[in-house]
Amino acid sequence: MPIMISRSTDLPIDLDAAKKVLRVDFDDDDDMIRDLIDGETRRYEDFARRIVAQTVFRFRSAGWFTRIPIDIDPIRSIAGVFYLDPDMQEVALASAAYRFVPCSQGGYLGIYSDWPRPDLADVAFPVWFDVVAGADLPADSPAVAPLDPADRMNILHMVKQIYDHDDPLTEEQLRRRFSGRRLLW
């Protein structure tokens, strides 16, 4: 199970764009709308099993395996692979020793089989790696990748439901409306 290390504080949907959809032309509700965007983005990510806001996750491994599955989608990059040596010193693995292999959902970290694996500390999970995930559509820079338009509209729909009716979409309503965006693994 990955651990969230950091999450972008930028809203995946611009406040002005949300206000336009909500037909709000005043600033009194800006903080509430920001909170709704953030909360409904997280709900949507949980439902769709897709990372929208750029997030860094840490995965841990019990040792050197040729393939380590990464069940997060979409994956932007591997930020680094690290291990504890027998002296309990943290060491960064050279990027030439591993690669990210994308799959239709997520991917895996591949450690090259001809790479000489160093000895590890005698602890439960001496190997870990950080994965940058989120924002589907690639751009020139992973830091500015735009949000998929379908995800954007789905999140705006969820925000509008709460803002207009003070009642979030139920799990059943989410399934009916957005099941095509849900990753099944």
Say yes or no to pLDDT of 70 above 60: yes
CB-hemisphere CA count at 13 Å for 47? 23
Reported as a pLDDT band with limits 50, 70 and 90, residue 185 is very low
Chain CA centroid to CA 7, Å: 8
Range list of H helices, the chain: 15-22, 30-48, 149-165, 171-178
Whether 29 shows a pLDDT value over 90: the answer reads: yes
Structure tokens at 8: 């972008």
Distant-in-sequence, close-in-space partners of 146: CB < 8 Å, separation ≥ 6: 135, 137, 139
> Quick one: angle between helices 15-22 and 30-48, nearest 10?
90
The pTM assigned to this predicted structure is: 0.81
Q: Which two tokens stand for residue 130?
A: 């950080």
Indicate the pLDDT class of residue 136, thresholds 50, 70 and 90: low
Please say if the pLDDT value at position 57 is more than 90.
yes
Q: What is the CA radius of gyration of the chain?
A: 20
Give tens-digit pLDDT for 81-98. 999 999 999 999 999 999
